């Protein structure tokens, strides 16, 4: 709970600047990555979808742009980041580790740049599985340390040393020191796949983006 309070306060402090800085840090690629996540969800008309860690609502907006009659439950700790009421979207302030929904409620579940902020990652993955219907698809996208990838030295200089002091100054916070550390201390992509399988997901696949600094994990509730 203590970490949730810290995370909520951090994102509240950068809520008005988050989208701009996010795009700046990723050289505008974040928009393309979100479109790829939605492609992998295979959404269809009339589905009920949960967007966990909805943030500023970009994944929700992309889904509704494609199929306006979806029913989306957007969940986040920080209401200040999410846009004004959107048709067919129900926003809930809640923890990703204790989702306030019944078993097998949703056809799809998606989270973007959420999981490295969680204290109990396995618990969240279990919760995503619990709330999905049988046959439902879960897609998660996040930033990962590139390990021994060829881009690793450049990534670490850029993300751990260059970004934090500059973006902290732009945002007038220490938020980007926290965000850099959240990546540095996160699990590996392979470990994330294992955790999904432990929750019960089948056909787990990891899609490598950003030259190995971003991954989308996709699984199906058997």
Q: How many whole angstroms from its chain centre is CA 37?
A: 10
Bridge partners of residue 92, in order along the sequence? 75
Half-sphere exposure of residue 39: CA atoms within 13 angstroms, side-chain side: 8
- 28 in Cβ contact with 58 (< 8 Å): no
**14: number of Cβ within 10 Å:** 24
Phi–psi pair at 75, nearest 5 degrees: -125, 135
- Residue 39 to residue 8: CA distance in whole angstroms: 29
Percent of the chain predicted with pLDDT > 70: 89
Which residues on neighbouring strands pair with residue 137, listed in sequence order?
A: 108, 220
Q: What pLDDT score does 128 carry?
A: 98
- Cβ–Cβ under 8 Å, residues 70 and 63: yes
* Mean pLDDT of the region 20-28: 67
Domains and CATH numbers, the chain: 2-145+187-221 (3.40.50.150)
d(C-alpha 179, C-alpha 7), whole Å: 10
Alpha carbon of 104 to those of 44, 49, 113, 154, 211: distances in Å?
Answer: 17, 11, 24, 43, 35
The rounded mean pLDDT for the chain is 89
Give the mean pLDDT of 138-153. 92
Q: What is the distance in angstroms between the CA of the first residue and the CA of the last residue of the chain?
A: 31
Map residue 112 onto helix, strand or coil: strand
pLDDT average, residue stretch 158-178:
84
Residue 24 banded pLDDT, cuts 50, 70, 90: low
pLDDT at 203: 98
How far, in Å, CA of 39 to CA of 122, rounded? 25
pTM, two decimals, is 0.89
Which of 3-17, 20-34, 38-52, 85-99 is predicted most confidently? 38-52
């Amino acid at each position: 709970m203590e970490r949730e309070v810290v995370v909520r306060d951090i994102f509240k402090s950068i809520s008005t600047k988050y989208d701009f800085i996010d795009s700046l840090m990723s050289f505008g690629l974040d928009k393309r990555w979100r479109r790829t996540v939605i492609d992998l969800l295979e959404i269809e008309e009339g589905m009920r979808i949960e967007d966990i860690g909805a943030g500023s609502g970009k994944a929700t907006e992309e889904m509704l742009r494609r199929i306006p009659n979806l029913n989306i439950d957007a969940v986040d700790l920080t209401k200040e980041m999410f846009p004004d009421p959107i048709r067919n979207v129900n926003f809930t302030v809640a923890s990703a580790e204790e989702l306030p929904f019944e078993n097998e409620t949703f056809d799809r579940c998606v989270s973007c740049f959420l999981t490295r902020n969680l204290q109990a990652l396995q618990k969240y993955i279990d919760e995503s599985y619990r709330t999905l219907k049988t046959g439902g698809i879960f897609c998660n996208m996040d930033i990962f340390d590139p390990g021994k990838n060829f881009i690793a030295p450049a990534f670490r200089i850029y993300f751990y040393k260059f970004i934090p002091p500059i973006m902290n100054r732009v945002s007038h916070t220490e938020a980007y020191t926290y965000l850099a550390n959240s990546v540095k201390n996160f699990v590996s992509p392979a470990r994330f796949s294992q955790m999904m399988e432990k929750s019960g997901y089948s056909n787990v696949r990891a899609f490598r983006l950003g030259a190995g600094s971003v991954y989308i994990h996709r699984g199906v509730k058997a």
